[in-house]
Amino acid sequence: MNIVLKDNWPETDPYGISQADHPEEAIAIQTGVFGQGLQVWSMCQPKNASTIFAAALAFNCTPDQIRHAVEQHPYLFVCGDKIEHDGE
C-alpha cells in the first residue's frame, strides 16, 4: 500500500476519511498530520537512532516522503541522515 502526502488538503478532511479525495490503492494523509506522527515516533526512538531510512521502514514509505514531511514540520529537521528536533 502506498502513502500519498497532501500538502494542501482541505481542513474539512484532514485525516483522509473521504475516499473521494484519493484512490483506494493508496493511503492519503495530510503532510502536517503525517509529520506529527513522525515527530512522536522519532521522540520514542533511542538517541541518534531516528534516521530517515529507519522512519521510512517504520512508516512503510519512501525516504523522500519522510524528508518532505520533516521539511514541512516546524520543529523537525534533517542533519545528514538523522531526524533532529528543534530544542533537543
Q: Give pLDDT tens digits for 16-33.
A: 555 555 555 667 788 888
0.75 surpassed by pTM: yes
User: What range defines the domain where residue 11 resides?
Assistant: 2-85
Of 12 and 35, the one with more pLDDT: 35
The half-sphere exposure of 53 on its side-chain side, counting CA atoms within 13 A, is 3
Q: What is the mean pLDDT of residues 31-39?
A: 91
Q: What is the mean pLDDT of residues 63-85?
A: 93
Amino acid at the residue 42: S
Please give the tally of structural domains in the chain: 1
Written as nine digits, the cell of 53 is 531510512
C-beta neighbour count of 39 within 10 angstroms: 19
Written as nine digits, the cell of 73 is 514540520
Contact of 5 with 64, CB cutoff 8 Å: no
